[in-house]
Amino acid sequence: MFLPTIWNYTKCIIGYVALLHHLAVSLRPNFSPVKTCTTLTLREIPVAVFDNCTGPGLVIHCLPDSKDDLGLSCYPPRWISPGKCPYYNTYQGNMDEKDCNQDHGNCPTGQFRSPLSVMYEGCYIKEEKIVTTTEAVTPTEVMKTTTCEPVKSNCSSFVSAAGEGKSTSCTGEIVACIVLVAIVLVLSGILVYKFRRVVTSMQCFQNSGSSSPDNGNPIEAVHLQQEEGM
């Protein structure tokens, strides 16, 4: 009966440890996931993290966990050994040390305070890299952005923006030309009309002079006809 009793106690302890591990992994009250640590800004820190770090001596740490996932935790600062990085121990729920990955970035060469781990990229293997690219602008594209479009004036012709003020007088010049042409046509018509009247008058005068026998006296012609009839 002694052995079964020890075995029952052992099973209870194993179950209790497994339950604690499950709670530590699922709840993680002291670990708020983030995507980056080295470029994290204050406005990206959740309010709950500030509330959790209000206790005496607590400081916000950005740490990888046991699987190198990143998160914010609250711990009192501690000294970290050279070549090591602080991390959140998922199984124990505390801050511990592990080796820095030199292949991923720079690592500490001396002892340092745990909140300063954000200075070393080798401590954050799964950190998302923010890549910013700047496209080179060719001289042709610069000319396209600085070239002014032509402005269409009232004269139905394209002029530059500098000559736009001059183009507004084109309409007045066209109207003046039309009026001048109309005046010339009217004067030409009047002159032609007067010339034709003069020519017609001269022809009538010549015709009347040639038809009368006494140089155009119609009274004397009548008397002559009467005398001839008697």
CA 18 to chain centre: 56
Mean of the per-residue pLDDT values of the chain: 75
Percent of the chain scoring above 90 in pLDDT: 41
Q: What percent of the chain has pLDDT over 70?
A: 57
**Residue 59 CB partners (closer than 8 Å, separation 6+):** 53, 74, 75, 76, 77, 115
Please answer whether residues 102 and 124 qualify as being in contact, where contact means their C-beta atoms are separated by less than 8 angstroms.
Answer: no
What does the alpha-carbon distance between residue 161 and residue 153 come to, in Å, rounded to a whole number? 10
Among the ranges given (8-17, 70-79, 101-110), the one the predictor scored with the smallest mean pLDDT: 8-17
Lowest mean pLDDT among 29-43, 77-91, 119-133, 215-229: 215-229
Banded model confidence at residue 140, pLDDT cuts 50, 70, 90: low
Cα gap 15→21, rounded to integer Å:
10
Which of residues 217 and 122 earns the better pLDDT score? 122
Check residue 122 and report its DSSP letter: G
For residue 169, give the 3-state DSSP assignment.
coil
Backbone angles phi, psi at 30, to 5 degrees: -115, 35
Residues 6 or more apart whose Cβ sits within 8 Å of residue 107: 83, 85, 100, 101, 120, 122, 123
Q: What are phi and psi of 3, to 5 degrees?
A: -65, -45
What tens digit of pLDDT does each residue of 4-56 get?
A: 566 666 665 765 555 444 444 445 679 999 999 999 999 999 999 999 999 99
Give the residue, 10 or 92, on which the prediction is more confident.
92
Q: Is 90 exposed, middle or buried, given 0-12, 13-18 or 19+ CB atoms closer than 10 A?
A: middle
Q: What's the CA gap between 91 and 124, in Å, rounded?
A: 19
Residue 78 main-chain phi, psi, to 5 deg: -145, 160
What pLDDT, in 10s, does the model give residues 159-206? 444 454 454 456 677 877 787 888 888 888 888 887 777 777 777 666
d(CA 153, CA 221): 78
Predicted local distance difference test score (pLDDT) of residue 83: 97
